[in-house]
Amino acid sequence: MKQAKYFTRLRSTIVILLLHFAVFAQEEPKPGNSAQELADKLANPVASLISVPLQNNLNYGIGQYNGVKYTINIQPVVPFKLSDNLNLITRYILPVVDQRNITGFNTHEFGLSDATVTAFFAPKTKKIIFGAGPAFLVPSATEKVLGTEKFGVGPSVLLMHQGKGLSVGFIANQIWSVAGASDRADFNSFYTQIFLSHSYKSGASWGVNAEITQNWEGNTTLISLNPSLGGITKFGSQVVQFSVQPLIPIVGHQSIRPDWGLRAVIAFVFPGS
Task: Give pLDDT tens digits for 75-99.
Answer: 999 999 999 999 999 999 999 999 9
Domain 2-270 in CATH 2.40.160.40: yes
- The whole-number average pLDDT for the span 26-50 is 74
Q: Determine the 3-state secondary structure of 14 from DSSP.
A: helix
Beta bridge partners of 62: 67
Cα atoms in the Cβ-side hemisphere of radius 13 Å centred on 139: 18
CA–CA dist 190, 25 (Å, integer): 33
Residue 33 pLDDT = 65
Most distant CA atoms of the chain, gap in Å? 56
Asked whether residue 9 carries a pLDDT value surpassing 60, the answer given is no
Identity of residue 193: Q
Spatial neighbors of 235 by CB under 8 A, at least 6 apart, are: none
pLDDT (tens digit, 9 = 90+) per residue, 205-250? Answer: 999 999 999 999 989 999 999 999 999 998 888 999 999 999 999 9
Whole-angstrom distance, CA of residue 89 vs CA of residue 76: 11
CA dihedral 55, 259, 150, 5 (to 10 degrees): 60
